[in-house]
Amino acid sequence: MPSANAQPRTLYDKVFEDHIVNAQPDGTVLLYIDRHLVHEVTSPQAFEGLKNASRKVRRPDCTLATTDHNVPTTPRKNFKNVADFVKEEDSRLQCTTLEENVKDFGLTYFGLGDKNQGIVHIIGPEQGFTLPGTTVVCGDSHTSTHGAFGALAFGIGTSEVEHVLATQCLLTKKSKNMRVQVDGKLAPGVSSKDIILHVIGVIGTAGGTGAVIEFCGSAIRGLSMEARMSICNMSIEAGARAGMIAPDQNTYDYLKGRPLAPKFDSNEWKKAVNYWNSLKSDEGAKYDIEVFIDAKDISPTVSWGTSPQDVVPITGVVPGPEDFEDANKKASCKRALEYMGLTPGTKMEDIEVDKVFIGSCTNARIEDLRAAAEIVKGRKVASNIKRAMVVPGSGNVKAQAEREGLDKIFLDAGFEWREAGCSMCLGMNPDILSPRERCASTSNRNFEGRQGALGRTHLLSPVMAAAAAIVGKLADVRKLTAGDATTVKSSPKLTVTPEFAEVDSEEELDRILDIPADVGPHVNDSAATGGASAGLPKFTVLKGIAAPLEKANVDTDAIIPKQFLKTIKRTGLGSALFHPLRYNEDGSENSSFILNQEPYRQSKILVVTGPNFGCGSSREHAPWALLDFGIKCVIAPSYADIFFNNTFKNGMLPLIISDQAALERIADEARAGREIEVDLPNQVIRDAAGKELSKFDVEEFRKHCLVEGLDDIGLTMQMEDKIARFEQKRTLDTPWLDGSGYLKKWRKGPVMVEAVPVPKTNRGEVKTDPVEW
Ligand X SMILES: CC(C)[C@H](C(=O)O)[C@@H](O)C(=O)O
Instruction: Find out whether 657 and 639 touch, Cβ atoms under 8 Å.
Output: no
Q: How far is the CB of 71 from ligand X (least distance, A)?
A: 13
Q: What's the CA gap between 687 and 27, in Å, rounded?
A: 32
User: Which residue of 241, 473, 619, 665 would you call a contact of ligand X, by CB under 6 A?
Assistant: 619
Sequential DSSP letters for 534-592: B-S---SEEEEEEEEE--SS-BHHHHS-GGGTT-SSSSS-GGGTTHHHHB-TTS-B-TT
User: Which residue of 71, 93, 119, 666 would you call a contact of ligand SF4, by CB under 6 A?
Assistant: 119
Q: What's the CA gap between 204 and 594, in Å, rounded?
A: 27
Does residue 237 belong to the site contacting ligand SF4 (CB under 6 A)?
no
Instruction: Find out whether 6 and 18 touch, Cβ atoms under 8 Å.
Output: no
Does residue 141 belong to the site contacting ligand X (CB under 6 A)?
yes
Q: Which residues pair with 459 in a beta bridge?
A: 441
Judged on CB neighbours under 10 Å (0-12, 13-18, 19+), 235 is buried
Q: Which does 529 bind (CB under 5 to 8 A by kind): ligand X, ligand SF4, none?
A: none
Nearest to 622 by CA among 447, 761, 455: 447
User: Which residue of 18, 40, 140, 555 would you call a contact of ligand SF4, by CB under 6 A?
Assistant: 140
User: Which residue of 155, 561, 580, 614 would you call a contact of ligand X, by CB under 6 A?
Assistant: 155
Q: Which does 360 bind (CB under 5 to 8 A by kind): ligand X, ligand SF4, none?
A: ligand SF4
Does residue 565 belong to the site contacting ligand X (CB under 6 A)?
yes
Instruction: Find out whether 179 and 290 touch, Cβ atoms under 8 Å.
Output: yes
Per-residue mark of binding to ligand SF4, 53-82 (x: CB under 6 A): ---------------xx-------------
Q: How far is the CB of 513 from ligand SF4 (least distance, A)?
A: 22
Sequential DSSP letters for 675-700: EEEEETTTTEEEETTS-EEEE----H
Q: How far is the CB of 267 from ligand SF4 (least distance, A)?
A: 36
Does residue 390 belong to the site contacting ligand SF4 (CB under 6 A)?
no
Residue 14 DSSP SS3? helix
Q: How far is the CB of 565 from ligand X (least distance, A)?
A: 6
Per-residue mark of binding to ligand X, 23-52 (x: CB under 6 A): ------------------xx----------
Nearest to 70 by CA among 93, 47, 38: 93
Nearest to 41 by CA among 621, 628, 652, 624: 621
Nearest to 766 by CA among 535, 530, 526: 535
Q: Which does 119 bind (CB under 5 to 8 A by kind): ligand SF4, ligand X, none?
A: ligand SF4
User: Which residue of 137, 240, 340, 422 would you call a contact of ligand SF4, by CB under 6 A?
Assistant: 422
Helices (H) and strands (E) in the chain, counts: 25, 26
- Closer CB to ligand SF4, residue 58 or residue 418? 418
Q: Which does 41 bind (CB under 5 to 8 A by kind): ligand X, ligand SF4, none?
A: ligand X
- Closer CB to ligand SF4, residue 211 or residue 234? 234
- Closer CB to ligand X, residue 381 or residue 565? 565
Residues 589-608 touching ligand X, rule: CB under 6 A, are none
Q: What's the CA gap between 769 and 532, in Å, rounded?
A: 7
- Region near ligand X per CB under 6 A, out of 138-146, 241-249, 571-579, 580-588: 138-146
Q: How far is the CB of 536 from ligand SF4 (least distance, A)?
A: 28
- Residue 529 CB partners (closer than 8 Å, separation 6+): 53, 54, 55, 56, 717, 753, 755, 756, 758
Kindly state the number of chain residues that form the binding site for ligand SF4, as judged by CB under 6 A: 13
What DSSP state is assigned to residue 450? Answer: T
Residue 627 DSSP SS3? helix
Does residue 579 belong to the site contacting ligand X (CB under 6 A)?
no
Residues 251-290 touching ligand X, rule: CB under 6 A, are none
Q: Which does 373 bind (CB under 5 to 8 A by kind): ligand SF4, ligand X, none?
A: none
Instruction: Find out whether 509 and 503 touch, Cβ atoms under 8 Å.
Output: yes
Residues 481-520 touching ligand SF4, rule: CB under 6 A, are none
Residues 644-683 touching ligand X, rule: CB under 6 A, are none
Does residue 426 belong to the site contacting ligand SF4 (CB under 6 A)?
yes
- Closer CB to ligand X, residue 462 or residue 616? 616
Instruction: Find out whether 553 and 448 touch, Cβ atoms under 8 Å.
Output: no
Judged on CB neighbours under 10 Å (0-12, 13-18, 19+), 230 is buried
Does residue 423 belong to the site contacting ligand X (CB under 6 A)?
no
Does residue 361 belong to the site contacting ligand SF4 (CB under 6 A)?
yes
Q: What's the CA gap between 32 and 167, in Å, rounded?
A: 9
* Backbone φ and ψ of 179, nearest 5°: -125, 130
User: Which residue of 9, 69, 280, 398 would you call a contact of ligand X, by CB under 6 A?
Assistant: 69
Judged on CB neighbours under 10 Å (0-12, 13-18, 19+), 97 is middle
- Region near ligand SF4 per CB under 6 A, out of 282-290, 316-324, 422-430, 553-561: 422-430
Does residue 560 belong to the site contacting ligand SF4 (CB under 6 A)?
no
What is the contact surface with ligand X in residues (CB under 6 A)? 41-42, 69, 140-142, 155, 426, 565, 617-619
What is the contact surface with ligand SF4 in residues (CB under 6 A)? 68-69, 119, 121, 140, 142, 360-361, 422, 425-426, 443-444
